[in-house]
Structure formats: structure tokens, C-alpha cells
């Protein structure tokens, strides 16, 4: 009996109480850990979103400051200003990284940091290609190139894909060397800090190139964005290999470099494939074909359409032609005025210089929305 007059629990009851208390404690501990992990994940996502938002806001402010009439992205000279600005920013960022890494590398006598500095100096080539591509593609039409020089942009992105592919091969070679003949990885807090700063700058370069690529539909900036992301991934692999190399015996930095090199090579192939496809002339987007046909068929006196042909001579330089069936009884003056209005609507809505050929057909003038035969 206890002091209150109750029977004291036996050994079995005490064990059950102990197990119940332990089970409850473990359960609450698991719930606490899950809540902490969920909170940490939310914080990481929030930080990532804030970094992305901050990077986009910064490039928007820079664009408004240095690009005149920045909202008129269909204008070839505005597109040129966007391209030149992205190239100049790339040169500035890479020069800063080169100077800082070279100074720190010489100060701490680190060949790894010095080598990475000259790697950033070589990245200037990509930024120069962006500038030359923007300048050459904005040249007006001439006698030899009556449709302009817009495809210079596709050529520039193809050249950039070769640079990315070469970088991937170089990383692949150095990774194999590290796997075959492993070297001791020296950990330096200063060099780690420099590499982290480098990753931050390269990620910002990825965001601003991606933003500009979307704003002006630029294949060069899409390639530059991938190039910046590849550099950030390669530097991240160096950091991971350096940290993990302190705790494992196998050449983890070489293995990580091997994986990253294959991703870089794959990225280069992807950019090259897209660029060659644009140079050869891909089939138009089926949705664009349907939208153009639907818009033309909305014409009051258009009975049917066929033989839509679209030619892409570079961003903002798309030319198309289509045959529109009209009644032979209509006045050529009235139908010509309607055709002009439709051509202007297509120019305003899709940015396509459209030429509509009228095909007179027998029958009444009612719009029958005949099916179309499309040539792509």
C-alpha cells in the first residue's frame, strides 16, 4: 500500500508504464524532428526564392537604367542593347572574379585558386560572343542578305555550345587524372569562401541571362545561362570534393568532376542541337499554325485557307505567306482592304510579316471555314 492507501503497482505494471513513457517520448521526438526538417525545408525554399527574386529585381533595375525603350523588345536595336548589356555584365563579373581569385591565390600560394582565376578569364570569350552576336544580328538587310542578319544569333549560340563542350572535355580529362592519380585535397577556409562567392555570382549570371533570354527570345542568352550554371555546378563539385575528401580515402573529387563533366558535355550538345535546328529551319509550332489559320478565317469574306509557309530569319524576323480563298464575285478593292487589315493583325499579334495571296473561288461570299492544307 502507498501513503494514500492505493495498491502499489507490480513489476509488470511498472514495465508497461515505463514502455508507455518511452514510446510517447520517442513519438514526440520524431514529430519534433519532422517539424524541424519541414521548417528547415521551408526556410531553404524561401531563401532560394528570395535570392532568385533579388537577382531578377537587380537585373530589371540595370535594364531600366541602361536600355532605352526597354519594353519594346520587338525592336531590333532594343534587342541589341539587351544582348550587349548581358555581355558587358558577363565581362565585368568574370573580371572581378579573376582579379579577386588571382590576388587571393597569390597571397595564400594556392595553385587551385589561381587556376580557377584563369578559368574565369577564359569565360570572357563567352561574353564577347554574346556582344558580337547581338551586334551582328542587328545589322540591317543588304544586297547579299535581303532578309537581314538575324541568324547570326543562332551561329553565335552554336559557337558558344562548342566552348561549353570544350570545357566539359577539359573537366572530364582532369577528373580522370584525379581518379587515376589521386592527390591530397588541401582544405583552406579562405579558398572555400572565394569559391562560394564565385558560385553566388555565377548563379546570378544564370538568372539574368535566363531573364534576358525570355525577354527577347535570345538563343545566345539561353546558352550563356547554361554556361553560367555549368560553372556554378563545377565549382560546387570542387567544394564538395574538398570537404568529403577529408573523410574518405577514395578520390571523391575526381568522381564528382566526372559526373559534372558529363552534364556539361550533354548541355553543350543540347545547345548545339537547338542552334543547328534553328539554322536549318524547324517546323513551325502547331499552335502558331492553328492561331494564324483561325485569325485569317475570321475575316468576313475569307472562305478558306491553305499553303501556310513560315520562314524564320532570326528572332523578330519571321516572314510568312498564306493563300486565302475569296469569292470571285467580290470587288478586288474591298477584299484587298480586308486582307491588309488581317496582315496587320498578324503583325501586331505574332510579330510575323505576313503576305496573303488571294485565291478567287466560285460560290457565295459566306464564310464556310474550309479546312486548311498547311505547308510547314
Return the DSSP state at 75.
S
Per-residue pLDDT at 157: 86
Residue 82, domain member (yes or no): yes
Residue 5, domain member (yes or no): no
Q: What is the mean pLDDT of residues 135-144?
A: 84
Residue 371, domain member (yes or no): no
Residue 350 confidence (pLDDT) above 70: yes
Per-residue pLDDT at 191: 76
Query: Are 315 and 236 part of one and the same domain?
Result: no
Residue 369, domain member (yes or no): no
Q: What is the mean pLDDT of residues 135-161?
A: 85
* Residues in the chain, overall count: 376
Residue 204 confidence (pLDDT) above 90: yes
Mean pLDDT rounded to a whole number for the chain:
78
Query: Are 171 and 218 part of one and the same domain?
Result: yes
Residue 54 confidence (pLDDT) above 60: yes
Query: Are 82 and 48 part of one and the same domain?
Result: no
Q: Which residue has the cell 461570299?
A: 365
Query: Are 300 and 156 part of one and the same domain?
Result: no
Query: Are 49 and 75 part of one and the same domain?
Result: no
What backbone torsions phi and psi does residue 56 show, to the nearest 5 degrees? -70, -40
- Helix ranges (DSSP H) in 310-360: 332-350
Domain boundary among 242, 265, 280: 280
Query: Are 271 and 297 part of one and the same domain?
Result: no
Query: Are 162 and 194 part of one and the same domain?
Result: yes
Per-residue pLDDT at 230: 83
The x, y and z cell numbers of residue 58, run together, are 537587380
- Helix ranges (DSSP H) in 109-185: 111-122, 124-137, 152-180
Q: Which residue has the cell 529585381?
A: 57
According to DSSP, the β-strands at 318-327 and 352-361 are parallel
Domain interval for residue 336: 286-361
Domain count, the chain: 3
Dist CA 48 CA 45 (whole Å): 5
Per-residue pLDDT at 368: 46
Q: What is the mean pLDDT of residues 141-150?
A: 83
Q: Between the CA of residue 277 and those of 23, 75, 214, 318, what are the distances in Å?
A: 63, 24, 19, 16
Domain boundary among 66, 83, 113: 66
CATH number of the domain that 336 lies in?
A: 3.30.70.1350
Residue 375, domain member (yes or no): no
CB under 8 A, 24+ apart: contacts of 56-63? 56/207, 56/208, 56/211, 58/204, 58/208, 59/207, 59/208, 59/211, 59/212, 60/211, 62/89, 62/208, 63/212
Q: What is the mean pLDDT of residues 225-254?
A: 80
Domain boundary among 261, 280, 299: 280
Dist CA 365 CA 289 (whole Å): 24
Residue 372, domain member (yes or no): no
The x, y and z cell numbers of residue 31, run together, are 514529430
CATH number of the domain that 89 lies in?
A: 1.20.1510.10
Residue 206 confidence (pLDDT) above 90: yes
Residue 376, domain member (yes or no): no
Per-residue pLDDT at 93: 92
Residue 247 confidence (pLDDT) above 50: yes
Per-residue pLDDT at 33: 52
Q: How confident is the model at residue 187 (pLDDT cuts 50, 70, 90)?
A: low
pLDDT digits (tens, 9 = 90+) for 61-96: 999 888 888 888 878 888 889 999 999 999 999 898
Per-residue pLDDT at 6: 43
Return the DSSP state at 8.
P
Q: How confident is the model at residue 373 (pLDDT cuts 50, 70, 90)?
A: very low
Residue 98, domain member (yes or no): yes
Window from 189-198, 300-309, 367-376 with minimum mean pLDDT: 367-376
Query: Are 143 and 219 part of one and the same domain?
Result: yes
Query: Are 91 and 59 part of one and the same domain?
Result: no
Per-residue pLDDT at 209: 92
Dist CA 140 CA 75 (whole Å): 12
Q: What is the mean pLDDT of residues 345-351?
A: 88
CA dihedral 354, 358, 363, 368 (to 10 degrees): -10
Query: Are 194 and 157 part of one and the same domain?
Result: yes
Q: What is the mean pLDDT of residues 266-292?
A: 86
Query: Are 143 and 248 part of one and the same domain?
Result: yes
Window from 106-110, 122-126, 243-247, 348-352 with minimum mean pLDDT: 106-110
* pLDDT: which is higher, 57 or 187: 57
Query: Are 207 and 290 part of one and the same domain?
Result: no
Per-residue pLDDT at 365: 45
Window from 32-41, 74-83, 178-187, 193-202 with minimum mean pLDDT: 32-41
Amino acid at each position: 500500500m502507498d501513503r494514500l492507501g492505493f495498491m502499489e503497482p507490480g513489476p509488470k505494471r511498472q514495465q508497461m508504464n515505463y514502455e508507455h513513457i518511452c514510446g510517447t517520448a520517442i513519438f514526440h521526438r520524431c514529430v519534433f524532428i519532422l517539424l524541424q526538417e519541414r521548417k528547415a525545408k521551408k526556410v531553404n525554399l524561401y531563401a532560394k526564392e528570395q535570392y532568385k527574386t533579388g537577382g531578377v529585381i537587380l537585373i530589371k533595375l540595370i535594364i531600366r537604367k541602361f536600355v532605352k525603350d526597354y519594353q519594346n523588345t520587338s525592336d531590333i536595336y532594343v534587342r541589341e542593347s539587351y544582348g550587349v548589356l548581358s555581355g558587358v555584365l558577363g565581362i565585368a563579373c568574370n573580371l572581378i572574379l579573376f582579379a579577386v581569385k588571382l590576388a587571393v591565390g597569390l597571397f595564400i600560394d594556392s595553385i587551385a585558386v589561381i587556376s580557377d582565376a584563369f578559368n574565369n578569364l577564359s569565360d570572357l570569350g563567352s561574353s564577347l560572343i554574346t556582344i558580337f552576336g547581338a551586334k551582328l544580328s542587328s545589322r540591317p538587310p543588304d544586297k547579299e542578305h535581303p532578309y537581314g542578319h538575324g541568324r547570326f544569333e543562332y551561329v553565335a549560340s552554336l559557337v558558344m555550345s562548342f566552348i561549353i563542350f570544350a570545357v566539359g572535355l577539359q573537366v572530364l580529362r582532369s577528373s580522370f587524372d584525379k581518379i587515376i592519380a589521386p592527390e591530397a585535397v588541401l582544405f583552406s577556409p579562405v579558398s572555400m569562401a572565394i569559391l562560394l562567392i564565385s558560385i553566388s555570382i555565377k548563379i546570378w549570371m544564370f538568372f539574368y541571362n535566363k531573364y534576358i533570354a525570355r525577354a527577347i527570345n535570345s538563343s545566345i542568352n539561353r546558352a550563356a545561362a547554361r554556361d553560367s550554371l555549368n560553372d556554378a555546378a563545377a565549382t560546387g563539385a570542387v567544394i564538395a570534393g574538398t570537404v568529403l575528401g577529408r573523410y574518405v580515402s577514395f578520390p571523391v573529387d575526381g568522381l564528382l568532376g566526372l559526373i559534372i563533366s558529363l552534364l556539361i558535355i550533354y548541355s553543350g550538345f543540347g545547345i548545339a542541337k537547338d542552334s543547328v535546328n534553328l539554322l536549318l529551319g524547324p517546323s513551325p509550332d502547331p499552335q502558331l499554325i492553328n492561331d494564324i489559320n483561325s485569325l485569317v478565317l475570321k475575316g468576313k469574306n475569307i472562305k478558306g485557307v491553305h499553303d501556310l509557309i513560315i520562314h524564320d530569319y532570326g528572332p523578330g524576323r519571321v516572314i510568312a505567306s498564306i493563300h486565302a480563298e475569296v469569292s470571285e464575285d467580290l470587288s478586288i478593292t474591298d477584299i484587298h482592304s480586308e486582307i491588309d487589315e488581317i496582315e496587320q493583325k498578324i503583325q501586331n499579334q505574332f510579330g510575323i510579316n505576313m503576305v496573303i495571296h488571294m485565291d478567287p473561288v466560285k460560290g457565295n461570299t459566306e464564310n464556310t471555314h474550309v479546312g486548311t492544307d498547311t505547308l510547314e
